[in-house]
Chain A
Amino acid sequence: MASAAQRNIRSISYAKYGYFFILPFFLVYCFFQVWPLINTFILSFYGNGQKVEDFIGLDNFRALLFGTSTTGMGRTAKAIHETFIQTLGNTFIVWIGNFIPQICLSLALAVWFTDSKLKIKGKGFFKIVMYMPNIITAASVAALYLSLFAESEYGSVNNLLMSAGIIDSPIKFVTGCWQSRGMIMFIQCWMWFGNTMIMLMSGIMGLNPSLFEAANIDGASSGQVFRKITLPLLRPIMLYTLVTSMIGGLQMYDIPYLYKKGTQRNEYTRTVAVFIYEHFREKMPNPNYGFSAAASVILFFITIILGSFAFAMNRDKDEAMKKKERKAYAKALKAKQKGLGGMEI
């Protein structure tokens, strides 16, 4: 009886339920993500401000990338080009300045935390504390640092440094070029190193422990273990971290946007995401959809190129090795056949 029922059930096709179940996701995704993406591409061919309805072809891209225009943007094109190039540079500088210290610190911490030979007390506590900055609202973090590092002598840090006699006049933590960039790098690093550390830790703990044991028995130093075992095996996870951090870096918005003195933003920390937002949102009655959309499209392609480049780099090595193995195998097979053939003769 049961087997008959079972057979009966097997013969029913349930495929249509699969479509039902994933349908809401795809409907919503197409409506709220795919169409807006296409819409962004479309808008990038249209004008700005009052002329938002006019089709101007590739002029927005021309303006952003080269500062030229065929539809008479003239001076505006030049200015927008300079700002855009600067924002690209800012994004890159701030991302590098936050990523390198962050990955070094996280990697070191992850290795130390997972090293069974070292007995560090309170590991759980440290992990919880180090992840905490990541959970706090970025807007509040920016507000907190702005208050602590305010530029007048009333700012806590300037106040402390001045009363200790280290400096004579307040440091321009918010409007200075490298001071403000440094602060944003520091805040980003402060917020994200715990997260990166935990990801790398889970990666290290997923590695085969017998490798580490064998290395220990062979008397490898911890530096050797790190360079010869941990680092090579961790490559896929490092790569994932690199790619996600890169994409996150390209979108860096909250802190650079909010870290400003009153209402005046300084030009040294304006990232691409802030540039996009300023043009389509802050100029609201007459938004510059064209410039923002074109910048978004450029950002989109940069993301794709960087992402695929990173993935290709990772895959190539493995694939090359597999290819080599396959070749060697084919060769061996051939030799074997030859050998057998020879015997036959």
Chain B
Amino acid sequence: MSSANGAKDNYTAKLRIKSIILFVVMILLTIICLLPIYILIINATRASADVTSGVSLIPGNYLAKNFDTLFNHPMFVNFKPLIGFRNSAIIAGSATVLSVFFSALTAYGLVVYDFKLRGPAYTFILAVMMVPMQVTSVGFLQFMLKLNLGDSYIPLIVPTVAAPAIVFFMRQYLKSSFPLDIVEAARIDGCGEFRTFLTIAIPMMKPAIAVQAIFAFVANWNNFYQPSMILVSRKQNQLTIPMMVSMITSNDKVNDYGAKYAAIGLSIVPIVLVYLVLSKFIVEGVALGGVKE
């Protein structure tokens, strides 16, 4: 009896020790994840001379001055964060709307209607989900330049109409939670096919649409490869935020380190804040969709 109790105590003690060790590991990982961003924010508030003289965990009082340098000093002539935010928002916003709407449309078509090419169409979408973007980019750019679409946002926005991964996700969602009887009921009531999609299916797909919209927005906002490929002449009022940040780091003339950190912070902090607000939603969405680029 007592030995059994002892074994049990031993077991729970073991578990407790393991839990504590794991907790410490988690704390360490949290520090690894957050420390670079924390130092970034701290350095953005310090004077350049302080930044170069050592690491600090306490904020300075140089933030306003750094921002002043960032916006007014000729060293940062290429960095216009407001224009960058505007351009990124235009591209990411329209790309999100297009990709989510047309993916919902395609998925709806694949689920609701029974037609001859339904199987092959779905197989095609599954197959092309894995084709890497780099593989087509040479032919893509050459083709776009031929059409005179270099320096235009069209090649960045319109192709997002065809987003195989989002179609796949939406189709799964419709299959699992969209009763086809509703479509029939709508038909009996004299509702047109497209109107059924707009007024019945779309509202019912809201959860899936929300998740995919967040991911599509983030992916397009962070996109660096395609804008830097397509925007051939690098016109300043066309640059996106990631492009502006990359220009700062490759510019040797930038020697105000405090302001440099402020610039990088300006590109990171908004997206981190949005993430924190939507975090629960996003983390669940990753688990749902298996979204990975």
Contact = CB atoms under 8 A, between A and B. Distances in A.
A80 interface: no
Main secondary structure of the interface of B (DSSP, over half): helix
Interface stretch (A96-104, A133-141, A207-215, A325-333): A133-141
B264 interface: yes
B182 interface: no
Contact of A143 (B29, B142, B249): B249
A80 to B, nearest CB: 15
Interface string B206-239: 0000000000001001101100110010000000
A146 B159 CA distance: 33
Nearest to A152: B52
Interface string A14-55: 111111111011101100110111111111000000000000
B200 interface: no
A258 B139 contact: no
A58 interface: no
B52 A251 contact: no
A340 interface: no
Interface stretch (A63-71, A121-129, A176-184): A121-129
Interface string B269-291: 00110011001101100111010
A270 interface: no
Contacts of A199: 286-287, 290, 292
A107 interface: no
Contacts of A122: 26
Q: Most A CB atoms within 10 A — which of B39, B218, B224, B276?
A: B224
B162 interface: yes
Contacts of A251: 132-134
A140 B26 contact: no
Interface stretch (A156-164, A165-173, A226-234): A156-164
A163 B138 CA distance: 48
A260 B37 CA distance: 20
Contacts of A37: 131, 135-136, 139
B138 A40 contact: yes
Interface residues of B, number: 102
A195 interface: yes
Interface in B38-62: 39-40, 43, 51-55
B283 A147 contact: no
Nearest to A19: B115
B264 A143 contact: yes
Nearest to A23: B109
Closest 9 CB pairs of A and B: A21-B109, A18-B113, A39-B139, A40-B139, A139-B242, A202-B287, A29-B162, A36-B140, A36-B139
Interface of B: 15, 18-19, 22-23, 26, 29-30, 32-34, 36-37, 39-40, 43, 51-55, 102-103, 105-106, 108-110, 112-118, 121, 125, 128, 130-143, 155, 158-159, 161-162, 164, 167, 184, 187-188, 193, 197, 218, 221-222, 224-225, 228-229, 232, 241-243, 245-246, 248-252, 257, 260-261, 264, 267-268, 271-272, 275-276, 279-280, 282-283, 286-288, 290, 292-293
13 contacts: A15-B113, A40-B135, A127-B283, A128-B283, A139-B267, A143-B264, A146-B249, A154-B257, A195-B286, A240-B290, A251-B134, A277-B134, A300-B135
Interface of A: 2, 5-6, 9, 14-22, 24-26, 28-29, 32-33, 35-43, 109, 112, 117-122, 124, 126-133, 135-140, 142-148, 154, 156, 159-160, 163, 190, 194-195, 198-199, 201-202, 240, 243-245, 247-248, 250-251, 253-254, 258, 260, 262-263, 272-273, 276-277, 280-281, 284, 287, 289, 292-293, 296-297, 299-300, 303, 307
